[in-house]
A and B are shown apart, each in its own frame.
Chain A
Amino acid sequence: MAIRDTLKKLTEAYGPSGEEENVRSMIRDMLNDQVDQIFEDNLGNLFAIRKGQKLKVMVSAHMDEIGVIVTHIDENGFLRIAPVGGISPRLLIGQRLRFNNELIGTVYHEKLKELKELDWPKIYLDIGADDLETAKKLVKIGDLACLDQPFKEQREGRYLAKAMDDRAGCAILVEVINRLPAELPHEVCFVFSVQEELGLRGAKTAAYRYEPDFGLAVDVTTVGDTPKAATMEVSLGKGPAIKVKDNSVLCHPLIRRFMVDVAEKNKIPFQYEVLTRGGTDAGAIHLSREGVPSGALSIPCRYVHTASEIVDKSDLDYAVLLLEKMLLSSWPQMEEINLR
């Protein structure tokens, strides 16, 4: 499957944090015979292992997307909702939301004096039910919904969809798994993690279980190339970004240097990412057990955490190439530091 088709399938799937099963089974189907071992853990993380020599590398992309959760149903069948992950109530007005049972709702707000009053308690979800009884047949308290937007190719090589964060990362992992040769220098565990948007929760338990020697997250990052954007030295279409830091991790210099070396050797364009907020799975992996040297490969993405996230195909292709080359190389080994 071309990466565009994988991406279309994955971004259109339903998978807010905690309810990643559709995405998980989709990815399982895509991988079937491509890996040596495939299993899930208690929280729902999917592990796909390719055996190799020597050390263990964990590569993680998260399956979950932002969404909302139903907290109350009123007598007229309207729902009250709360955020799941970093989602702004202002971006939801007039948006369509989709439940796992394909039910569609739209969001609107109570009467407001000023726009700045707009907050979660003021908005509601209309699912077309006229009373409590009808509504209760369609949804339950605690049901989740994701944004409902189809995948579009804006122009050749420009993709627009919901949940690029982080189905783009998942698509890259799937593509790389399909391209890897039989023999690898290191064992690689591809983790499709859960609940990243709620605080890197899946990656934490996944790293504990796998006990990797190295960690790498593949996730989207924000860009600074739009009108009067906050300063950020990452642009769309200039290659994947090698993360220096975000709010969850300061990438290990050895890993960062290794990524740069591999990119330069293979003439792959790249950018450095210095993100002042937000986090990624590497934040949880690098603190697992006694510490795991970790890095992150980021896909430049506009309008992250909205219904219309945009990525560029060339960035995806180069990210696939860079990750593939990294997994075919020897990772830099730390010298044991002995202070005795």
Chain B
Amino acid sequence: MLAELCDLRGVSGNEENVRKYLLEKLVGTAVETRVDTMGNLLVSKGKSKNGTIMLSAHMDEVGLMIMAVEKNGFLKFSPVGGIDGRILPGKRVRIGTAGIDGVIGVKPVHLQKKDEQKKPFDEESLCIDAGFKNSDEAKQYISVGDYAAFDSFCTEIGDGYYRGKAFDDRTGCLILLRLLMENNGLAFNAAFTVQEEVGTRGAAVAAYTIEPNVALVVEATAASDTPETDEEAAGTNLGKGPAISIMDRTIMVSRKLREELAEVAEKASLPYQYRHFTGAGTEGGVIASSRGGVDTAILAVPCRYIHSPYSVMKESDLNATLGLVRAWLEQRQ
């Protein structure tokens, strides 16, 4: 299911494929589903006696949007969400609902001048080449505003590691989906949200609708436990379990709630770690400040090379995160 979810194309604002997939999987389960105006999928499994619990995970992924068709059939694009422009050259993309194949081309090394070789490619100069002979042909297949998503697929590498795109945040979606599908008798509300990568927009609306008493955001977060990074700058580490956030750009996590998560993990003998950085944003902020304020925490699966066509994450972290969310829900019933 991880591979199926991650391989779907769902760049921010265009989450339909993911939503459809989730809705299909939920057919026959005893849940109430609705899709709001923005496209958030809200699923209710009732209210616990301690009030409404909201779990959220975002369906969208980072990607590109076609901004112009050039005279010779090349396609100009803009990033949707936070993408490091330096990683784009040479990457495969699929464009539009039809999934037309393209590649982000660059001038070959043979033709570059000496000083050009020393600099990363200027993002402005990059184009998608989808094999069109001219703009007229391109325009038959492509409209301005079409999305392009990374063309990569999820595979297992090594023993228990996965490589693929969109782990951020289909891993969260998978965890919520599993909790909805299994016969666990847990009462909670799941929000599969839209447009997180362009400013946590869906979650703001979803939290307003659900009006929760407590919320947990299930995310994927950056790990940099790689050779070029000092230990203290790693952020999170693969294999050490779900990362509990203490603070990010959008939220100061409720201490009570994050200590509760750590206690639940210890009681259930599940590994956990703290997210050792305070930058970047999550849906936590807009949920915490919804209406009169909501106690909110964030739990995340550590991911290397996040926001690229190939992230790497570890199955044991995914399972431990699922286990911790479930154990926390049980305690909260």
Shortest CB–CB separation between residue B110 and chain A, in angstroms? Answer: 37
A82 to chain B: closest residue by CB? B278
Shortest CB–CB separation between residue A11 and chain B, in angstroms? Answer: 21
> B20 near A: Cβ within 8 Å?
no
Binds A, one of B158-166, B182-190, B288-296: B288-296
- Inter-chain contact B247/A142, CB cutoff 8 Å: yes
* Partner among A71, A74, A195, A204 whose Cβ is within 8 Å of the Cβ of B277: A71
Residues on the A chain within 8 Å of B231, using CB? 72, 74
Which residues of B from 208 to 260 have beta carbons under 8 Å from A? 231-233, 246-247, 252-253, 255, 258
> A8 near B: Cβ within 8 Å?
no
Shortest CB–CB separation between residue B102 and chain A, in angstroms? Answer: 38
A202 to chain B: closest residue by CB? B293
* Partner among B232, B233, B255, B292 whose Cβ is within 8 Å of the Cβ of A19: B255
Which residues of A from 133 to 147 have beta carbons under 8 Å from B? 141-142
User: A180-205 vs B: 1/0 string, CB under 8 Å?
Assistant: 00000000000000010010010011
> B153 near A: Cβ within 8 Å?
no
Given the interface contacts A17-B252, A69-B246, does A208 sit within 8 Å of B292 by beta carbon?
A: yes
> A152 near B: Cβ within 8 Å?
no
A79 to chain B: closest residue by CB? B232
Which residues of A from 42 to 67 have beta carbons under 8 Å from B? 42-43, 45
> A225 near B: Cβ within 8 Å?
no
Residues on the A chain within 8 Å of B255, using CB? 18-19, 142
Residues on the A chain within 8 Å of B274, using CB? 141-142
* Partner among A42, A80, A83, A209 whose Cβ is within 8 Å of the Cβ of B232: A80
* Partner among A74, A141, A201 whose Cβ is within 8 Å of the Cβ of B289: A201
Residues on the B chain within 8 Å of A18, using CB? 247, 252, 255
> B91 near A: Cβ within 8 Å?
no
- Inter-chain contact A195/B252, CB cutoff 8 Å: yes
Given the interface contacts A18-B255, A142-B255, does A69 sit within 8 Å of B278 by beta carbon?
A: yes
Instruction: Give Cα distance in the complex from A205 to B290, angstroms.
Output: 7
> B276 near A: Cβ within 8 Å?
yes
User: A197-240 vs B: 1/0 string, CB under 8 Å?
Assistant: 01001001100110000000000000000000000000000000
> A121 near B: Cβ within 8 Å?
yes
Instruction: Give Cα distance in the complex from A45 to B289, angstroms.
Output: 12
Instruction: Give Cα distance in the complex from A209 to B293, angstroms.
Output: 9
- Inter-chain contact B293/A84, CB cutoff 8 Å: no
Given the interface contacts A18-B252, A74-B232, does A141 sit within 8 Å of B292 by beta carbon?
A: no
Residues on the B chain within 8 Å of A69, using CB? 246-247, 278
Residues on the B chain within 8 Å of A131, using CB? none
- Inter-chain contact A142/B258, CB cutoff 8 Å: yes
> A261 near B: Cβ within 8 Å?
no
Residues on the A chain within 8 Å of B247, using CB? 18, 69, 82, 84, 142
- Inter-chain contact A72/B276, CB cutoff 8 Å: yes
Instruction: Give Cα distance in the complex from A122 to B252, angstroms.
Output: 23
Chain B interface residue count: which class? 20 to 34
Which residues of B from 275 to 302 have beta carbons under 8 Å from A? 276-279, 285, 288-295
> A130 near B: Cβ within 8 Å?
no
Instruction: Give Cα distance in the complex from A45 to B277, angstroms.
Output: 26
Among all A-B residue pairs, the 8 with the closest Cβ atoms: A142-B246, A205-B293, A18-B252, A42-B293, A82-B278, A43-B293, A141-B274, A209-B292
Which residues of B from 283 to 325 have beta carbons under 8 Å from A? 285, 288-295
> A5 near B: Cβ within 8 Å?
no
Shortest CB–CB separation between residue B141 and chain A, in angstroms? Answer: 44
Instruction: Give Cα distance in the complex from A74 to B276, angstroms.
Output: 12
Instruction: Give Cα distance in the complex from A201 to B278, angstroms.
Output: 17
Residues on the B chain within 8 Å of A264, using CB? none
> A41 near B: Cβ within 8 Å?
yes
- Inter-chain contact A201/B276, CB cutoff 8 Å: no
Residues on the A chain within 8 Å of B290, using CB? 205
* Partner among B233, B279, B294 whose Cβ is within 8 Å of the Cβ of A42: B294
Shortest CB–CB separation between residue B289 and chain A, in angstroms? Answer: 5
Shortest CB–CB separation between residue B216 and chain A, in angstroms? Answer: 15
For B231, B278, B288, the residue with the greatest tally of chain A CB atoms inside 10 Å of its CB is B278
Given the interface contacts A18-B255, A69-B278, A84-B247, does A201 sit within 8 Å of B232 by beta carbon?
A: no
Residues on the B chain within 8 Å of A71, using CB? 232, 246, 276-278
Instruction: Give Cα distance in the complex from A43 to B253, angstroms.
Output: 10
User: B94-107 vs A: 1/0 string, CB under 8 Å?
Assistant: 00000000000000
Instruction: Give Cα distance in the complex from A82 to B274, angstroms.
Output: 14
Shortest CB–CB separation between residue B302 and chain A, in angstroms? Answer: 15
Given the interface contacts A43-B288, A72-B276, does A141 sit within 8 Å of B293 by beta carbon?
A: no
Shortest CB–CB separation between residue A197 and chain B, in angstroms? Answer: 10
Instruction: Give Cα distance in the complex from A114 to B233, angstroms.
Output: 21
For this complex, 27 residue pairs linking A to B, each with C-beta atoms less than 8 Å apart, are A18-B255, A19-B255, A41-B293, A42-B293, A42-B294, A43-B289, A43-B293, A45-B293, A69-B247, A69-B278, A71-B278, A80-B232, A82-B247, A84-B247, A141-B246, A141-B274, A142-B247, A142-B253, A142-B255, A142-B258, A195-B252, A198-B252, A204-B289, A208-B291, A208-B293, A209-B292, A209-B293
Residues on the B chain within 8 Å of A41, using CB? 292-293
B273 to chain A: closest residue by CB? A141
Which residues of B from 147 to 171 have beta carbons under 8 Å from A? none
